[in-house]
Structure 1
Amino acid sequence: MKKIALSLLTVSLLAGFCAGLAGCDIGTSSRSEIKIGGKTMGTFYNITVIGDYPGGQDQLRHEAEEVLDSINKEISFFDRNSELSRFNQHRSTEPFKVSQDVADVVIASIRAGQELHGAVDVTVGPLVNLWGFGHVKPETLPPVPDDNAINAARKRVGLDKLHVIVGYNSAQLKKDNPQLEVDLSTVGEGFGADKLAELMDRRGIQNYMVSVAGAIRTKGLNSRGKDWVVAIEHPTTEQAVGQRLEIPVCTKGQAISTSGSYRNYKIDEKTGTRLSHIIDPATGKPITHHTVSITVVGPTALWTDAIDTGLMVMGSDEALRYANERSMAIYTIVKEGNEFKSHYSKAMQQYLVCD
């Protein structure tokens, strides 16, 4: 459901990825752990619990997949019977009843869009489709849409056309344009990670890492009694994209997610220009700057998953200014000439130093 391949944010335990990195103390596992994983939302989920889980591994898998199945029934863009799909098929401006979960995700998405001045927009699907990166097969579309097609698609896009109505024990979505559709792919994985974290907390688990694709939540310590660590993939050169340097990030009980563009793009055959799959809602066109990924650390995976896309639209320079003004922890990778260079906000420094 997300805009980024899993490989952009490699989920790793410290002992798992430190091999080969200078100065990294691998050590040995001192506490038992339970691990499960599987498919969800068109991608994968993984859970690591340190110690025991009530009912053991089978119960953990059963309860986790119940949570994820419930989310799919609520916000899946692909399941025509999900709440979100039925709202999208609701070609009317009359309010449409939804669950509180759906309302919460949409509220968070609208808030992120407003905070980032429209740089992230969950209604941007018609433009993503138009450029051949969405649910419409690229072979049915012209290689590069003209301005008339872009302007027509933009009439069906806009957070100002989407409203959430919350009452006592009820929630509704409303659209000003009957053709408006909402795609929560940019935030669904973060929401899923948060819900898995809630499950762990309800079960009294004090030490865990949960992930849905590149959206991750951690709590407590890993099996070595250290902070949980994930690795941001840093491409070295275009010619050696299979090689990677992994930058360790100590999550310190926070959420983390990455938005990136260097793996998902196409080439304009006429101009040779590389077209990113990330669309700027303000222009209706792919981003043109050279930022290839932005990682965000924050309190919830829903928030980091919503914010990272908008920051990618803004680009590294503007994103870093924005983050430093708000003490936000972000890490950016920019293609400068034939090299990829890293930059990070002041608040990110604390997560780049591992004990």
Structure 2
Amino acid sequence: MANSIAKGLLLSAALMLLAACNDANTRPQIDIEGKTMGTFYSVKVSGTLTESKQQLQQEIDALLEQANDDISTYRPDSVLSRFNQNTTAEPQPIPRGMADIILTAQRIGRDTGGAMDITVGPLVNLWGFGPDKRAVKVPSQQQIDAARQHIGLQHLKLLSDSRGEWLQKDLPEMYVDLSTLGEGYGVDQLVRLMARKGITNYLVSVGGAVSSRGVNGQNKPWRVAIQKPTDRENAVQALVDLQGYGISTAGSYRNYFEQDGQRYSHVIDPVTGRPITHKLVSVTVIAPTALEADGWDTGLMVLGTEKALKLAEEKGLAVYLISKTDDGFSAVMTPQFKAFLVQ
């Protein structure tokens, strides 16, 4: 799994926002950019605003700052960090948004047979991809087995009562990492902000998660490019029109370390406790929400091409998979994904 709160920071995200191709704007458009969750965000709005660009950016920054205060593992005083630091089995209060992320993670974790596991943090940290960023070396099997004693979704419970939402663990050293869903959550928060303000033409992104609705400054639908799994930033694999949906991409081809000629990806398989070794290098998912897409892309990434495609077809998911071959790369998609392709 991606260890950072933002896959964009790790450069595993493979989405690029397509800029307008001509200067004949038919509607005003504003672009707002900034930093959050260890990566970058972008908000593009077309049409006339009822407030200034500066006022809108202040609200965006405050919204994303709150998300960081809730779920960042890089902030020792965040709600999630305080939960991880707690070694008791007493339920801990959490905000509603964080509960939504946990609930989504638990469901996708079950559906993927544990391939998407938000408790995999000890293994991510052990392999040097966590917030500590310690010197990278291949851990011993003994170290891996020891870390695996502290993970497992079955040891994490989400509770709700009249006072609010609560999170409980029965393993004292359990370390929950919501980074694999953080960008999608941030995007959905921005989408809700747009709705509250009556903004109907926008494209918002946080790292590798994107959502859009309506048209751009040229009065044309927003389009998003899926990047080829190479180091070239503008190598486009496919174009999609999101039609109000969210999209997220997970990849294994940029964040890694090498030792003795062997490459070790940041994507950790919770079952083996080791980085993945299969040929699947990129997974793009389109879903009703960016959070949903962000959760599925990581789980499918861990499974590998054949298992990921089979599960996506069973669940009716819109998925685009890119695999490494002897001759380069090959791509396969589900029928649901084809509906979003720009021919």
TM over 0.5: yes
Partner deviation per Cα, 1:239-267 (whole Å, 9 max, x = no partner): x7567234211111110000001111122
Per-residue deviation, 1:136: 3.3
- Separation in 2, partners of 1:279, 1:223: 41
Is 1:274 aligned to 2:263, yes or no?
yes
Q: For 1:22-61, list aligned pairs within 5 A.
A: 28-61=24-57
Which among 236, 260, 265 is matched to residue 256 of structure 2? 265
Which among 49, 65, 68 is matched to residue 69 of structure 1? 65
Contact 1:196 1:210 in 2 (8 A): yes
Contact 1:8 1:232 in 2 (8 A): no
- Separation in 2, partners of 1:339, 1:53: 46
Per-residue deviation, 1:338: 3.8
Q: Which residue identity is paired with 2:182?
A: G
The residue number in structure 1 matching 2:147 is 153
Per-residue deviation, 1:76: 1.2
Aligned positions, number? 338
The residue number in structure 2 matching 1:253 is 244
The residue number in structure 2 matching 1:125 is 121
- Separation in 1, partners of 2:28, 2:227: 28
Which among 103, 106, 109 is matched to residue 110 of structure 1? 106
The residue number in structure 1 matching 2:201 is 207
What secondary structure does 1:15 align onto? coil
Partner deviation per Cα, 1:278-336 (whole Å, 9 max, x = no partner): 00011111111011110000100111111100000011221111112222111111110
What secondary structure does 2:248 align onto? strand
Per-residue deviation, 1:7: 7.2
The residue number in structure 2 matching 1:336 is 325
- Separation in 2, partners of 1:248, 1:207: 19
What secondary structure does 1:122 align onto? coil
Structure 2, unmatched stretches of 5+, are none
- Separation in 2, partners of 1:69, 1:285: 33
* TM-score (normalised: structure 2): 0.93
The residue number in structure 2 matching 1:301 is 290
The residue number in structure 1 matching 2:276 is 287
Are the structure 2 counterparts of residues 306 and 100 from structure 1 closer, same or farther at C-alpha, using a change threshold of 3 Å? same
Contact 1:190 1:215 in 2 (8 A): yes
Is 1:134 aligned to 2:130, yes or no?
yes
Q: Which residue identity is paired with 1:262?
A: Y
Is 1:10 aligned to 2:18, yes or no?
no
Per-residue deviation, 1:106: 1.2
Contact 1:9 1:230 in 2 (8 A): no
The residue number in structure 2 matching 1:21 is none
Superposition RMSD in Å: 1.8
Q: For 1:80-99, list aligned pairs within 5 A.
A: 80-99=76-95
Are the structure 2 counterparts of residues 27 and 254 from structure 1 closer, same or farther at C-alpha, using a change threshold of 3 Å? farther
Contact 1:53 1:60 in 2 (8 A): no
Per-residue deviation, 1:274: 1.6
What secondary structure does 2:296 align onto? helix
Structure 1, unmatched stretches of 5+, are 17-25
- Separation in 2, partners of 1:96, 1:27: 53
Contact 2:94 2:165 in 1 (8 A): yes
Per-residue deviation, 1:27: 7.8
Per-residue deviation, 1:168: 1.8
- Separation in 1, partners of 2:276, 2:7: 14
Partner deviation per Cα, 1:74-104 (whole Å, 9 max, x = no partner): 1111111111111111111111111112211
